[in-house]
């Protein structure tokens, strides 16, 4: 290219007049988001054992925010403030940690709509809703009668339900039995959680299933609307050394659940109401004070008494992932120990049900014949296929743990087209919209399971990694190594503009219905009620009112109810007290948060704003005097 022409082309590109063919740009150019521009996608990566959701921009790979969900978060007071404590209530008590695996965006007609993000907790079974107006967790429901919750949260096309399921079979209901009597007592449950009404998330019904381990799920769309599919392994029902004993059989199952049929059975009274206690935690928009409602029963569907609600599709060797193609016609299993990728056909499955092509039955659940439902087995794809996403152009992308690559194939023709390496043992992978009816495509993000030394070493634990590919061209192009927080399992992404239009900038002070809100400095006060002292405090650049508090005695419980009376975007104030055995508060404009403190020693204790808010931030401070009891 002649220099002058190059210059002309450069200015045309810069002016947005022509776009270069995508492969002509270097990876560095493609991931570079210049100052003044935003990333193209929001990506939500689960934090795994950090219990949270971490938000990144794509293609830059920049970490934007951590949304605390199942783990308390001292940075902003989640789980510590009086307003958010109740979010972590469970029937086992208050649990400030969780293991979050699979985020899923809410959908309308099978397309992610940007209203909410759901995510599961795998240890103490729970599901959560994050409101994408505020990027905050607003609701958590506990799943009773479940041993862990891994096949969750996968969604139905209009966000009617999110899924949950027993990862480990357990005695249901729980009781003290010898573990060796697994086969007799251990069961599984598949749970459908009503998700479309914020504040009303609840267990719609549970289906009682054999004592296998239920691993992952995805729901049907288009022709398969009304169905969800769950993988199950350990159909051997081993209870020790599963490493060996759960891999004996040639095939385990995908459970196909007809949730429309389940709704019929519920409507016809074909269910059993079972008493139990579980938590529904909700943080409403007006007071923003989380509260726990204790639920007392769930509806059980027993497959024998509701024929047609569940079928088993034999699937090779301990299937892990199960994914439904955007057209809703194909169900792809990932057999961790398999050397083929089994693709089932939804049409064939329906015919097999009609023609009763059964290979057997277990606890009232017909097992369909493999040949009757299988569309094909992708030959020689890779080793250890796990999870599949779609680009909306007829291609499926499956991550392969053992061979450390992603195989790309035409899922209708069952033909391998390409493959890309991953530097590490890959787990989940994500394409924006890649599990929906209309993938946006464009990027592919395989995430690691077992990390490798890509980044600067950080002691015995190495940073986790994901690798970003551009898949818009004819060949995938490697763009970027991204670090990850925690250990992400699944992820979701959505075009940034969909969320930017909805995103809230401030909480309106006028609409703050918190009972301890202080809406002007004139209203600030200290009120004693026996041993309780309530400080109604305001924060604005750059002082607190009141800032000298006296009359507190050892033995009192002090509640600092701090209202940030700013109404400008991006002006939070922090609040921390010396020696207070709690966390920081990070209070958004228009919001009230409460720090509870039981002073144990007399003295004068400073408090201050922890978030740099103006040139006088350092002066944003005060004292609280504590006298002997």
Positions that interact with ligand CUA (CB under 6 A):
542, 573, 609, 611-613, 617, 620
Mind giving me the DSSP string for 434-500? TTSSS---SEEEEEEEE--S-S--BTBSPPEEEEEEE-SSSS-EEEEEEEESS----EEEEEHHHHH
Which of ligand CUA, ligand CUK, none lies near 336, with the C-beta cut-off 5 to 8 A by kind? none
Grouping H, G, I as helix, E, B as strand and the rest as coil, residue 516 is coil
SS3 content of the chain, % helix, strand, coil (to 5): 10, 45, 45
> Does 428 contact ligand CUK by CB under 6 A?
yes
Q: How far is CA 147 from CA 188, 277, 291, 303, 530, in A?
A: 8, 15, 25, 20, 44
> Which residues, numbered 431-490, are part of the site for ligand CUK (CB under 6 A)?
449, 489-490
Query: CB burial class (10 A; 0-12, 13-18, 19+) of residue 81?
Result: buried
Q: Which is nearer to ligand CUA, 254 or 609 (CB)?
A: 609
CB of 611 to ligand CUA, least distance (A): 5
The radius of gyration computed from the CA coordinates of the chain, to the nearest angstrom, equals: 27
CB of 144 to ligand CUA, least distance (A): 43
Which of ligand CUA, ligand CUK, none lies near 420, with the C-beta cut-off 5 to 8 A by kind? none
The angle subtended at Cα 147 by Cα 267 and Cα 269, nearest 5°, is 10
The β-bridge relationship of strands 592-597 and 557-564 is antiparallel
Is 535:549 a contact under the CB 8 Å cutoff?
yes
Q: Which is nearer to ligand CUA, 121 or 611 (CB)?
A: 611
Which of ligand CUK, ligand CUA, none lies near 237, with the C-beta cut-off 5 to 8 A by kind? none
Grouping H, G, I as helix, E, B as strand and the rest as coil, residue 536 is strand
Which of ligand CUK, ligand CUA, none lies near 449, with the C-beta cut-off 5 to 8 A by kind? ligand CUK
The β-bridge relationship of strands 227-233 and 213-219 is antiparallel
CB of 423 to ligand CUK, least distance (A): 16
Going through 513-572 in order, the beta strands assigned E by DSSP cover 525-529, 532-540, 543-545, 548-553, 557-564
CB of 386 to ligand CUK, least distance (A): 5
Which of ligand CUK, ligand CUA, none lies near 386, with the C-beta cut-off 5 to 8 A by kind? ligand CUK
CB of 588 to ligand CUA, least distance (A): 12
Which of ligand CUK, ligand CUA, none lies near 514, with the C-beta cut-off 5 to 8 A by kind? none
Q: Which is nearer to ligand CUK, 428 or 464 (CB)?
A: 428
> Which residues, numbered 80-139, are part of the site for ligand CUK (CB under 6 A)?
101-102
Q: Which is nearer to ligand CUK, 43 or 216 (CB)?
A: 216
Q: How many CA atoms lie within 13 A of 476 on its CB side?
A: 25
CB of 580 to ligand CUA, least distance (A): 17
Is 406:428 a contact under the CB 8 Å cutoff?
no
Q: Could you say which of 427, 574, 589, 599 contacts ligand CUK (CB under 6 A)?
A: 427
Q: Which is nearer to ligand CUA, 264 or 547 (CB)?
A: 547
Q: Which residue sits closest to ligand CUK, CB atoms considered? A: 427
d(CA 133, CA 78): 17
> Does 320 contact ligand CUK by CB under 6 A?
yes
d(CA 553, CA 626): 5
Lookup: tokens for 469: 């590919």
Query: CB burial class (10 A; 0-12, 13-18, 19+) of residue 248?
Result: exposed
> Does 336 contact ligand CUK by CB under 6 A?
no
d(CA 350, CA 330): 12
CB of 609 to ligand CUA, least distance (A): 3
Query: CB burial class (10 A; 0-12, 13-18, 19+) of residue 371?
Result: exposed
> Which residues, numbered 512-571, are part of the site for ligand CUK (CB under 6 A)?
none
Q: How far is CA 561 from its chain centroid?
A: 31
Q: Which is nearer to ligand CUA, 372 or 562 (CB)?
A: 562
CB of 551 to ligand CUA, least distance (A): 25
Q: Which is nearer to ligand CUA, 294 or 612 (CB)?
A: 612
Which of ligand CUK, ligand CUA, none lies near 216, with the C-beta cut-off 5 to 8 A by kind? ligand CUK
Count the residues of the shown chain that bind ligand CUK, applying the rule CB under 6 A. Answer: 12
CB of 584 to ligand CUA, least distance (A): 12
Which of ligand CUK, ligand CUA, none lies near 348, with the C-beta cut-off 5 to 8 A by kind? none
CB of 541 to ligand CUA, least distance (A): 6
Q: Which is nearer to ligand CUA, 604 or 616 (CB)?
A: 616
Which of ligand CUA, ligand CUK, none lies near 280, with the C-beta cut-off 5 to 8 A by kind? none
CB of 428 to ligand CUK, least distance (A): 5
Q: Could you say which of 216, 256, 540, 620 contacts ligand CUK (CB under 6 A)?
A: 216
CB of 489 to ligand CUK, least distance (A): 4
3-state secondary structure 324-385: ECCCCCEEEEEECCCCCEEEEEHHHHHHHHHCCCEEEEECCEEEECHHHHEEEEECCCCCCE
Q: Which is nearer to ligand CUA, 228 or 613 (CB)?
A: 613
d(CA 392, CA 376): 20
Which of ligand CUK, ligand CUA, none lies near 573, with the C-beta cut-off 5 to 8 A by kind? ligand CUA
Q: Identify which of 608, 471, 476, 628 has the alpha carbon closest to the alpha carbon of residue 555.
A: 628
> Does 386 contact ligand CUK by CB under 6 A?
yes
Q: Which is nearer to ligand CUA, 160 or 611 (CB)?
A: 611
Site residues (CB under 6 A) for ligand CUK?
Answer: 101-102, 150, 216, 320, 386-387, 427-428, 449, 489-490
């Amino acid at each position: 290219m002649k220099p002058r022409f190059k210059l002309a082309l450069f200015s045309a590109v810069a002016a947005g007049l022509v776009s270069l063919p995508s492969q002509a740009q270097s990876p560095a150019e493609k991931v570079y988001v210049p100052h003044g521009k935003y990333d193209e996608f929001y990506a939500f990566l689960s934090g795994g054992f950090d219990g949270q959701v971490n938000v990144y921009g794509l293609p830059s790979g920049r970490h934007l925010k951590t949304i605390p969900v199942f783990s308390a978060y001292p940075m902003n007071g989640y789980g510590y403030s009086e307003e958010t404590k109740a979010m972590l209530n469970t029937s086992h008590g208050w649990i400030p940690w969780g293991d979050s695996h699979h985020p899923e965006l809410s959908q309308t007609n099978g397309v992610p709509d940007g209203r909410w993000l759901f995510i599961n907790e795998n240890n103490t079974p729970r599901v959560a809703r994050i409101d994408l107006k505020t990027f905050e967790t607003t609701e958590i429901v506990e799943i009773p009668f479940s041993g862990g919750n891994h096949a969750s949260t996968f969604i139905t096309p209009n966000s009617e339900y999110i899924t949950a399921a027993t990862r480990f079979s357990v005695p249901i209901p729980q009781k003290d039995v010898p573990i060796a009597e697994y086969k007799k007592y251990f069961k599984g449950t598949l749970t459908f959680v009503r998700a479309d009404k914020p504040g009303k998330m609840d267990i719609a019904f549970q289906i009682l299933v054999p004592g296998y381990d239920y691993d992952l799920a995805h729901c049907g769309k288009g022709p398969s609307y009304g169905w969800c599919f769950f993988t199950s392994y350990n159909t051997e029902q081993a209870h020790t050394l599963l490493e060996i004993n759960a891999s004996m059989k040639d095939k385990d199952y995908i459970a196909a659940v007809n949730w429309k049929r389940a709704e019929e059975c519920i409507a016809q009274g074909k269910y059993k109401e079972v008493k139990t206690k579980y938590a529904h935690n909700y943080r409403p928009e007006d007071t923003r004070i989380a509260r726990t409602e204790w639920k007392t029963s769930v509806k059980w569907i027993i497959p024998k008494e509701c024929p047609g609600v569940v079928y088993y599709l034999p699937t090779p060797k301990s299937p892990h992932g199960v994914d439904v193609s955007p057209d809703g016609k194909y169900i792809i299993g990932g057999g961790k120990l398999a050397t083929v990728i089994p693709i089932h056909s939804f049409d064939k499955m329906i015919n097999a049900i009609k023609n009763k092509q059964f290979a057997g039955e277990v606890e009232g659940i017909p097992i369909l014949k493999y040949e009757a439902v299988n569309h094909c087995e992708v030959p020689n794809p890779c080793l250890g296929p796990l999870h599949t996403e779609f680009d909306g152009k007829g291609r499926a992308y499956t991550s392969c743990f053992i061979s450390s690559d992603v195989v790309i194939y035409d899922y209708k023709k069952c033909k391998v087209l390409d493959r890309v390496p991953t530097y590490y043992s890959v787990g989940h992978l994500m394409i924006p919209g890649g599990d929906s009816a209309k993938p946006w495509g464009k990027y592919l993000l395989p995430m690691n399971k077992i990390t490798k030394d890509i980044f600067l070493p950080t002691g015995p634990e190495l940073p986790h990694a994901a690798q970003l590919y551009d898949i818009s061209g004819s060949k995938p192009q490697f763009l970027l190594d991204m670090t990850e927080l925690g250990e992400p399992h699944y992820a979701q992404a959505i075009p940034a503009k969909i969320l930017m239009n909805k995103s809230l900038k401030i909480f309106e002070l006028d609409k703050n219905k918190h009972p301890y809100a202080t809406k002007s400095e004139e209203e600030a006060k200290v009120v004693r009620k026996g041993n309780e002292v309530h400080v109604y405090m305001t924060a604005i650049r750059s002082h607190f009112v009141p800032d000298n508090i006296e009359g507190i005695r050892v033995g009192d419980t002090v509640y600092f109810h701090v209202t940030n009376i700013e109404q400008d975007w991006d002006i939070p104030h922090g609040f921390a007290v010396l020696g207070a055995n709690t966390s920081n508060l990070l209070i958004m404009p228009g919001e009230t948060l409460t720090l509870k403190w039981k002073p144990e020693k007399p003295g004068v204790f400073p408090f201050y704003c922890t978030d740099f808010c103006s040139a006088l931030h350092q002066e944003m401070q005060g004292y609280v005097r504590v006298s002997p009891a």
